[in-house]
Amino acid sequence: MKAATAAVQLRSFDGGVRIATRHCRPDRLAFWDDPDRDTRRIARGAGLSYAAASFSADAISTDHRSFDRILGFDAAGKTLEVEAGIALGKVYEFLAPRGFYLAVQPGHPSITIGGCIATDVHGKHQARDGTFEGHVRSLRLFHPDHGVLELSREQEPSLFELTCGGYGLTGDILSAKLAVVQLAAPRVLVTTTPLPDIRALPEALASASARADQLYSWHDFTARGDRFGHGYLIEGRWVTDRATEVHRPRPWHSRLDADNRGAFRLGCFNRLTTRPFNALYQRLLRRQSAPQQLELFDFLFPVHDKEVYFKLFGRRGFHELQVLVPVAAFPEFLQRLRAAIERLRLPVTLASAKLFRGERRLLRFTGDGICLAIDFPRSRRSAAFATAVDAMLPGLGGWPNLIKDSRLPLATVRATYPQYEQFCERLHAFDPRRLYRSEMSERLGL
Amino acid sequence: MTIVIVGASAGLGRALAEELARRGHPLLLAARDARDLQALAADLVLRFAVTVGTLAFDLADPQADWPALAATIARHGPLEGLYLPAGLSRRDDTGDLDASSIRTLVDANLTGIACLVTAVWPLLLAAPRATLAGFGSIAAVRGRRQNIVYAAAKRGLLSLFESLRHRAVGSGLHVQTFQVGFLDTQQTFGKRTLLPRASPQAAARRVAALLHRDCGTVWLPWSWRFIAMLVRAMPWLVFRRLDF
């Protein structure tokens, strides 16, 4: 069955890439029976990736969001089977009242499970929970040359490994069986602790890691002098005295996508406004210094009610650089980062860090170190700054998150991902015609 | 008491299945492809803890055994409702279709529905109260150079449901006709539409809220009633110049 296609302009969420292409939105499973074998294609979920991973000028984007059904749930075996187009928010609505949740979830409820697998996302406590791949028991993958394949660590383990964190380049992920975790309580007690000196961050994260159920930090990179990078450590712990409370998630609705993110013609962030913005946010965090209870939904998806933040960057958009740096190299990285920020007078609107643990594999964003994400508006200076960060990483043993940066150059990926060639070889061995393509895959020579 | 939805695999039919399941109604879902139905049934059973059966058949099948189909439906329990948001349209339905394609369009949109309703009618009358709902289209308000056969079949469907409503007078059966404007479904995907498309979920909520109500003909969304009046009242000299 053919699905209607339409011409469309698609944008990366950060506003950096805009491409005229075609897309389709199949809604019946017969769509996979009779594929056009020569059409270049790529799967698309919520379209919230910062990099242009779900579209390309010469590939049809297949929107999976009509395939969003829950196919099976085994409370005793703690597994959930879903179609790949299902949004995290819908999974949450199903699991939470039954006393379960997904241990690893990125910050917005519209993101789809297919997107989580393809980009191997991390959650609020990567050092303890790992990345999304670790919670995928098995998946079904479609490729026009191979049909529908069942993949797991036991069945086709090599292709399973390539697909989890394969950026959608091995095929369309149709469905997945996921491990779910017993929910200790529907509420999280959030403690916000001041962190006056960012140089103490690695130690603070390491010492909080064992006791916290969720953990990250926020920093002010617009502050001057010794205050540069001061911030807060944000720890979440289950409210265990509410363990018996049945969670009834309230309805949520989001219209955030890459198009309406750029709804405002002009951006609001610049060198003048970003300092007061950070000061305001800091005041908000300071008010929360007494531990407070949050619904798990609000803690897991902190972005869902702060969507205006992304819109304030205006049509031109923003950069998010997310990098992982070994703990030993973190002070040096911070010093160089600060020098570049001050030299270019870059208005950093957000800086946030997490502790990471894991084994580096292929092009997945994991490993041991401190993960630092920073946001700043797109401008002439911002491109120079991003290039400066690219240059810092290889020497310090750090590496960037491919999905968070729509301009990341091939040279940086080659220099920072030791298994880049291996990923390419395995991908080409499985799909010699390279039918699945995105702007990101072409930019990175995948 | 079971509600049957024919055309439940996608679009308005799927949204209606979700909405009725949310309200706790046992369902029997029907469409051509059993795989779509099984996936949807699994989803609804898990999310709403309702009984959901599936039945795969094709309204356009000229060999269909309608009495046997009615007997199968009867085995799923007393019938509380029969919703028929099924339909088939083609983008090349512009006057040059071959005879077989024309027959398929008419069978899927009119003949099959008439045959099914005729076979199931006694089951609907046997219930203390029941609802039968047909789904027309804005395309049938006034014939255009697009959707030619589809619009003709949908116009026939309106007449069929007017007659059925008249026939049901005095029984516990309410016959409803929903006239559907532009919905954001596969049928309109990628098409330039003069007016915004409504969500199938919003339309489904309205349909479900009218269960067992003697509402006659209802427009989805309601504002399309006035658009339809405008299209009907438009002088030929203006209408002939429109390209939609």
Q: Which residues, in sequence order, are CB contacts of B111 under 8 Å at separation 6+?
A: none
Average pLDDT over residues B90-119: 95
Percent of chain A at pLDDT exceeding 70: 99
Separation between Cα atoms, residue B106 and residue B31, nearest integer Å: 17
Cβ-contact A296, A49 below 8 angstroms: no
Q: What is the DSSP letter of B171?
A: S
Alpha-carbon gap: A168 to the closest alpha carbon of chain B (Å): 23
Residue in B11, B36, B46 closest to A29 by CB: B36
Res A392 pLDDT > 80: yes
Average pLDDT over residues B7-31: 97
H-run or E-run covering B84: strand B79-84
Separation between Cα atoms, residue B67 and residue B60, nearest integer Å: 16
Separation between Cα atoms, residue A5 and residue A159, nearest integer Å: 29
pLDDT band of residue A423 (cuts 50, 70, 90) is very high
Q: Which residue of A has its CA nearest to B40?
A: A69
Structure-model confidence comparison of residues B197 and A370, the more confident one: A370
| Contact yes or no for B186 and A3 at CB 8 A | yes
- Mutation target for A interface from B12, B183, B189, B191: give the one with most A CBs within 10 A: B189
How far are the Cα atoms of A49, B64, B141 from residue A258, in angstroms, in the given order? 8, 47, 37
pLDDT, averaged across chain A: 93
Chain B contact set for A27 (CB, 8 A): 9-11, 14, 185-186
- pLDDT of A193-245, one tens digit each? 999 999 999 999 999 999 998 899 999 999 888 899 999 999 999 887 765 66
pLDDT of residue B244: 67
pLDDT band of residue A307 (cuts 50, 70, 90) is confident
- pLDDT of B144-171, one tens digit each? 998 999 999 999 999 999 999 999 999 9
Could you say which residues from 85 to 124 on chain A have a Cβ atom under 8 Å away from some Cβ of chain B? 94
Backbone angles phi, psi at A218, to 5 degrees: -125, 140
Nearest by Cα to A118 from A26, A28, A54: A54
Structural tokens at position B25: 């109604």
Q: What 3 state SS string does chain A have?
A: CCCCEEEEEEECCCCCCEEEEEEECCCCHHHHCCCCCCCCEEEECCCCCCCCCCCECCEEEEECCCCCCEEEEECCCCEEEEECCCEHHHHHHHHHHHCEECCCCCCCCCCEHHHHHHCCCECCCHHHHCEHHHHEEEEEEEECCCEEEEEECCCCHHHHHHHCCCCCCCCEEEEEEEECEECCCCEEEEEEEEECCHHHHHHHHHHHHCCCCEEEEEECCCCCHHHCCCEEEEEEEECHHHCCCCCCCCCCCCCCCHHHHCCCCCCCCCCCCHHHHHHHHHHHHHHCCCCEEEEHHHHHCCCCCCCHHHHCCCCCCEEEEEEEECHHHHHHHHHHHHHHHHHHCCCCCEEEEEEECCCCCCCCCCCCEEEEEEEEECCHHHHHHHHHHHHHHHHHCCEECHHHCCCCCHHHHHHHCCCHHHHHHHHHHHCCCCCECCHHHHHCCC
Could you say which residues from 8 to 67 on chain A have a Cβ atom under 8 Å away from some Cβ of chain B? 24-30, 66
Answer whether A253 touches B (CB < 8 Å).
no
Which of A11-20, A262-271, A378-387, A437-446 has the lowest average pLDDT?
Answer: A262-271
A298-312, B124-138, B229-243 — which one is most confidently predicted on average? B124-138
pLDDT of residue A295: 86
Separation between Cα atoms, residue A283 and residue A218, nearest integer Å: 12
Cβ-contact A163, A171 below 8 angstroms: yes
Answer whether B111 touches A (CB < 8 Å).
no
- Mutation target for A interface from B186, B193, B205: give the one with most A CBs within 10 A: B186
| Contact yes or no for B42 and A28 at CB 8 A | no
Residue appearing with tokens 């509402």: B215
pLDDT band of residue B196 (cuts 50, 70, 90) is confident
| Contact yes or no for B91 and A4 at CB 8 A | yes
Residue in B10, B42, B191 closest to A27 by CB: B10
Q: Which residues, in sequence order, are CB contacts of A202 under 8 Å at separation 6+?
A: A327, A330, A355, A370
Q: Which residue of A has its CA nearest to B41?
A: A71
Separation between Cα atoms, residue B36 and residue B173, nearest integer Å: 30
Separation between Cα atoms, residue B146 and residue B50, nearest integer Å: 41
| Contact yes or no for A24 and B189 at CB 8 A | yes
Looking only at Cα atoms, what is the longest distance across chain B?
56
Separation between Cα atoms, residue A166 and residue A44, nearest integer Å: 14
Alpha-carbon gap: B48 to the closest alpha carbon of chain A (Å): 10
- pLDDT of B213-240, one tens digit each? 999 999 998 888 999 999 999 999 999 9
Average pLDDT over residues A417-432: 98
Q: Which residues, in sequence order, are CB contacts of B60 under 8 Å at separation 6+?
A: B88, B104, B107, B108, B112
Answer whether B33 touches A (CB < 8 Å).
yes
pLDDT of residue A281: 87
pLDDT of residue A238: 87
pLDDT of residue A244: 64
> C-alpha angle A23/A29/A32, rounded to 5°?
65
Residue in A4, A24, A73 closest to B46 by CB: A73
Nearest by Cα to A370 from A342, A334, A402, A340: A334
| Contact yes or no for B186 and A72 at CB 8 A | no
- State the complex-level ipTM: 0.92
- pLDDT of A4-31, one tens digit each? 889 999 999 999 999 999 999 999 999 9
Q: Which residue of B has its CA nearest to A6?
A: B190
Separation between Cα atoms, residue A402 and residue A26, nearest integer Å: 28
Alpha-carbon gap: B172 to the closest alpha carbon of chain A (Å): 35
| Contact yes or no for A28 and B185 at CB 8 A | no
**Residue B227 CB neighbour total at 10 angstroms:** 17
- pLDDT of A82-91, one tens digit each? 999 999 999 9
- pLDDT of A30-41, one tens digit each? 999 988 889 999
| Contact yes or no for B43 and A66 at CB 8 A | no
The model's pTM: 0.93
pLDDT of residue A284: 83
Answer whether A70 touches B (CB < 8 Å).
yes
Res A254 pLDDT > 90: no
- pLDDT of A324-377, one tens digit each? 999 999 999 999 999 999 999 999 999 999 999 999 999 999 999 999 999 999
